[in-house]
Amino acid sequence: MKKLTGLTVFLMIILLKPALGQPPGNDSSYLIEADWVFDGEQMHEGWGVLVRRNLIELAGDIKTLRADAKSRVLRFPGCTIIPGLIEGHSHLFLHPYNETSWSDQVLKESRAERVARAVVHARSTLMAGFTTVRDLGTEGAGYDDVGLKEAIEKGVIPGPRILASTRAIVATGSYGPKNLSYDVIVPKGAAEADGEEGITKEVRTQIGKGADVVKLYADYGWGENHEPEPTFTLDEMKKAVEVASSSNRIVAAHSSTLEGMRRATLAGVTTIEHGDNGNSEIFNLMKEKGVALCPTIAASEAIEEYRGWKKGSQPEPNSVILKKKSFKAALDAGVKICMGGDVGVFPHGDNAREMEDMVEYGMKPIDVLRSSTSINADVFRIGDKLGRIKTGLLADLIVVEGNPVENISLVRRIRMIMKNGVIY
């Protein structure tokens, strides 16, 4: 049983370069030791993790773990082992709006370019320690997220495992692009559907094309002066949830208005994305109905920065003040919080920005770690496979310097990434 230091591990990874996505060998085994282990729920000292092939075989007191003679012992003093992080709201087919506007990405970038960018984004996401993403819409790139997911699963390219929502669903007339003459018919950033029959057909179509999750836009900026207003009726959203549930798919609802959030919650969606105008009443209803919130703080701040706001040196714009208020109300109500930043609005690979913002907005670092691992896994119904360091779960692990419970930004200082038993 050969013991390796962190530096030796780094050199071993550089020299061996295991094929990205290649299944681990039948006899591959690692005993990973660090000063701390966050198991998805609690932080432990004196623990280690034994990995065999692509599964976690044991985790616990390092004194009780026994590796065989062929096992590699990877030691990371001063570090923490964490389950692979889960990004709850990603758009792998988008890149930051200060580079190219959303409308120009949808209308002017070829599908080939968008797929090429998505391949780069997927790798950046994985190398930031996020081994799983819930990708909530290709924004005009059709079902290409399913192809991207399959390429990653086959080991063609490196990237996180993807929970794909394909095109997402909007009410006719509500979504963009809308920056051309109304006489010009342009591609939309999502699939239009109306009425219970239309919703039923579109949900089934997207599931048939490979969607793991259904995304609805419960409201959008189509009111007077482009103010956000509800789109689908309560009955339409109930039908979407009913049809999706029949094939064990969850439903995510984009919503920032009180009425949109109310309808989505009563319809039985799994998560509400954004929730900017949420108040204690609506969050108490979400808590009662078991609906989680994915606040996407980082995207809200990024958009304001693109408009010229300088965080830390200028007064906070109204949207940031509103987001802080709604996030506090959600925390006070005890709503389950998912970690998801709407990455794609800001750069892929900078996913940890959302975790830092959650702490800044009042969440404890250990709760942010839970949201980024076990809570996301449970809400997305993959907790039987991922999100915890636990016997029998997939070996998705990262090692970071220091203890991120003391400083959440330490999740950026990655020493090792393992996905499905493969060290990247």
Contact 95, 116 (CB under 8 A): no
What is the pLDDT at residue 11?
Answer: 46
Please state, in angstroms and rounded to a whole number, the distance separating the CA atoms of residues 179 and 181.
7
Length of the chain: 424
Contact 335, 287 (CB under 8 A): yes
What is the pLDDT at residue 5?
Answer: 54
What is the pLDDT at residue 67?
Answer: 79
**Does the structure show a pLDDT above 80 at 45?**
yes
**Does the structure show a pLDDT above 60 at 8?**
no
**Does the structure show a pLDDT above 60 at 269?**
yes
**CATH assignment of 2-84+387-423, among 3.40.50.300, 2.30.40.10, 3.40.50.20, 3.40.50.1010:** 2.30.40.10
Please state, in angstroms and rounded to a whole number, the distance separating the CA atoms of residues 414 and 411.
7
What is the pLDDT at residue 66?
Answer: 84
pLDDT, mean over the chain? 94
What is the pLDDT at residue 26?
Answer: 56
What is the pLDDT at residue 181?
Answer: 81
Instruction: Tell me the pLDDT band of 80, cut-offs 50, 70 and 90.
Output: very high
What is the pLDDT at residue 24?
Answer: 56
Boundaries of every domain in the chain: 2-84+387-423, 85-379
Torsion of CA 10, 12, 13, 14, to 10 degrees: 90
Instruction: Tell me the pLDDT band of 3, cut-offs 50, 70 and 90.
Output: low
Top pLDDT among 18 and 186 is at 186
Q: What is the pLDDT of residues 217-247, one digit of tens each?
A: 999 999 998 999 999 999 999 999 999 999 9
Q: Which residues pair with 423 in a beta bridge?
A: 418
Q: What is the pLDDT of residues 276-314, one digit of tens each?
A: 999 999 999 999 999 999 999 999 999 999 999 999 999
Instruction: Tell me the pLDDT band of 183, cut-offs 50, 70 and 90.
Output: confident
As a whole-number percent, the residues of the chain with pLDDT over 90 amount to 89
Top pLDDT among 16 and 43 is at 43
Least confident of 67-71, 253-257, 374-378: 67-71
- How is residue 350 written in tokens? 């900078």
What is the pLDDT at residue 15?
Answer: 42
As a whole-number percent, the residues of the chain with pLDDT over 70 amount to 94
Q: What is the pLDDT of residues 192-216, one digit of tens each?
A: 999 999 999 999 999 999 999 999 9
Mean pLDDT calculated for residue range 247-262 = 98
Task: For residue 39, count other CB atoms closer than 10 A to its CB.
Answer: 21
In sequence order, which residues have a C-beta less than 8 Å from that of residue 4 and are 6 or more positions away?
A: 12, 72, 73, 74, 75
Burial letters for 44-65: b for 16+ Cβ neighbours within 10 Å, e otherwise?
Answer: beebbbbbbebbbbbbbebeeb
Matching CATH topology for 2-84+387-423 and 85-379? Answer: no
Instruction: Tell me the pLDDT band of 16, cut-offs 50, 70 and 90.
Output: very low
CATH of domain 85-379: 3.20.20.140
